[in-house]
Structure 1
Amino acid sequence: MLDFGTLLPLLAVAAASGVVGGVLAGLLGVGGGIVIVPALYFALSLSGMDPALTMQVAVGTSLATIVFTSLSSSWGHYQKGAIDMGLLRLWAPAILVGVGIGGILGGVVSGYVLMAVFATVALAVAIDMVLRKPKTEVAARSFSRPVWAGLGVFAGGVSAMMGIGGGTVCVPALSFLGYDIRKAVGTSAAIGFVIGLPGALIYMATGLGTEGLPPFSFGYVNLLLAAVIIPLSTTFARVGVKIAHAIPPRALKLCFGLFLAITSLRMFADLFGVV
């Protein structure tokens, strides 16, 4: 059991991650998990929790918060006409398949190899988004359905294993295909719900009966931490939406590229710290 002296800092970290994660969810369409997972992982590690369970709880709890954060963020983007519903219908089934695979494998397979691949791709995409000159016209390209399906399974699987909303993969992919950056962000915010709900349910189910979990846990989802994060992340997601639609598209693209570069470098730092 966690004592009050340990619980209070843990709740404070959860609250801070909810604020920052919410703003990023609305601004960049990333679901907030890219902030929430490492924050919870660090805080739970300091609490003396079994290291073997820390990452699962951080990921499962993050996915549960993404359900609500993505709803708030995507509704704001939808009101501004920034969600491509046709693309969402095309991509959602494959993403769901990926979430199922990634969610089940998340607690079994080591993610270090996947993290190395993802960090490399993320850094390459970040460099492309920052350095590529803006086009005078936006002309959305597309792939065949099998390629869309493959991208969806990849995005869903990686997101479920890492507890993120999918925007880290989906936004640069859609931007590369020529989609307007605001529509890429808005559609990715909606995809966060498609990832978060089944992902959280899978982590709840796979963690049932596990010993050593913190109080108020339902499987690998900690309800207390989620209850602290969700009101803050959903509120501040709308702040992020307003910022996203108030700044030039090029500035938004640069913002996401720099954010992605920082995320990638942090992943490499974690890898070299473990290997």
Structure 2
Amino acid sequence: METYIVYLLTLLAVGAFAGLIAGLFGIGGGVVMVPAMYYTLVFLGYPEHAMHAAVGTSLAVIVITSARSVMAHAKRGAVDFDILKKWCPWIVLGALAGSAIAGAIPTRGLVFIFAITALVLSLQFFFGRADWKLGDDLPGQPFRALLAGTIGIMSALMGIGGGVFGVTLLTVFGRSIHVAVATAAGFGVAIGFPAALGFVITGWGVADRAPFSLGFVSMPGFALLAITAVFVTPLGASLAHRLNAARLRQAFAIGLALVALNMLRSAVWG
């Protein structure tokens, strides 16, 4: 009983923090939820498919947090819906492909992919600057399809909302940080729904999953994370418009790097 109480309280706290991060940085909260869910499932005695369940569950929650974040930012007029209309179809296709690829990768391989990519992202969070630019406008076809599809694939493999890639993409192509954060949050909906559905399908009938799971999506984990995340996300979005987030980004980057290094150690040495 004590184990499940710890499980309950941990995921409620993680959900709140993930919601805050989702609204503040437009990143969907997956970089927080995936490692927390992974370690929780391992602790509870379900290591066999822990990473797949962590990624799939995170993607399901991201649908909620990203939609909530977009609505909060839209009230402030910060969401560029024209970008969403042009980029989201290709992101959806990438997300579907990513979830199919993930189903064929063993748990240790998925942990390794998350750890390496999270480590790179932490460096971008720490050293990235808003004044870095590659152009004044986003690229058209065929680069749009290539970039958007890649965002969908990598986000589905990692269980993140695409904001960590999307914010960088939008800022280096001339969008302000506030518009980038708000619009990239919309990428999370385009990624989360099809990718979570893909994890349900690829995990359907697989043995040794945690109880009350739909494929590789843990329904208790989804409920606990979503309950707190959905209420805290608007707070993060509000803070994003009030604070200079540079120091917060650097602190978050350090924490993400430490988690990534620990998961990398787990993937390499077990």
- The alignment's TM-score, normalised by the length of structure 1, stands at 0.87
Identify the residue that residue 22 of structure 1 maps to in structure 2: 19
Identify the residue that residue 178 of structure 1 maps to in structure 2: 174
Indicate how the Cα distance of structure 1 residues 85 and 254 shifts in structure 2: closer, same or farther if over 3 A, else same: farther
Are 2:263 and 1:270 equivalent residues in the alignment?
A: yes
On the 8 A contact 2:26/2:167 being kept in 1, the answer is yes
Q: SS of the counterpart of 1:212?
A: coil
Equivalent position amino acid for 1:88 in 2 = L
Are 2:104 and 1:105 equivalent residues in the alignment?
A: no
Q: Deviations over 1:84-134 (max 9, x none)?
A: 1111111111111110111011132223664476346425533542xx475
Identify the residue that residue 124 of structure 2 maps to in structure 1: 125
Indicate how the Cα distance of structure 1 residues 117 and 35 shifts in structure 2: closer, same or farther if over 3 A, else same: closer
On the 8 A contact 1:96/1:153 being kept in 2, the answer is yes
Indicate how the Cα distance of structure 1 residues 46 and 224 shifts in structure 2: closer, same or farther if over 3 A, else same: same
Equivalent runs, 1:89-104 vs 2, <5 Å: 89-104=85-100
2:157 to 161, 171, 189: 161
Indicate how the Cα distance of structure 1 residues 46 and 169 shifts in structure 2: closer, same or farther if over 3 A, else same: same
Q: Deviations over 1:60-86 (max 9, x none)?
A: 111111111111111000111111111
Indicate how the Cα distance of structure 1 residues 48 and 119 shifts in structure 2: closer, same or farther if over 3 A, else same: closer
Q: Note the C-alpha offset of 1:27.
A: 0.5
CA–CA distance in 1 between the matches of 2:31 and 2:143?
26
Indicate how the Cα distance of structure 1 residues 179 and 258 shifts in structure 2: closer, same or farther if over 3 A, else same: farther
Q: Which piece of structure 1 moves more, 251-260 or 188-197?
A: 251-260
Are 2:9 and 1:12 equivalent residues in the alignment?
A: yes
On the 8 A contact 1:71/1:190 being kept in 2, the answer is yes
CA–CA distance in 1 between the matches of 2:143 and 2:261?
28
Q: Deviations over 1:153-180 (max 9, x none)?
A: 1111111111111111111121222210
Q: Note the C-alpha offset of 1:10.
A: 1.3
On the 8 A contact 2:88/2:148 being kept in 1, the answer is yes
Equivalent pairs counted in the alignment come to 264
Equivalent runs, 1:63-78 vs 2, <5 Å: 63-78=59-74
Unaligned runs of 5+ in 2: none
Equivalent runs, 1:1-275 vs 2, <5 Å: 4-49=1-46, 51-109=47-105, 110-111=109-110, 114-115=113-114, 118-119=117-118, 121-129=120-128, 132=129, 134=131, 140-247=136-243, 251-256=244-249, 258-260=251-253, 262-275=255-268
CA–CA distance in 2 between the matches of 1:55 and 1:112?
6
**RMSD (CA atoms):** 2.3
On the 8 A contact 1:181/1:252 being kept in 2, the answer is no
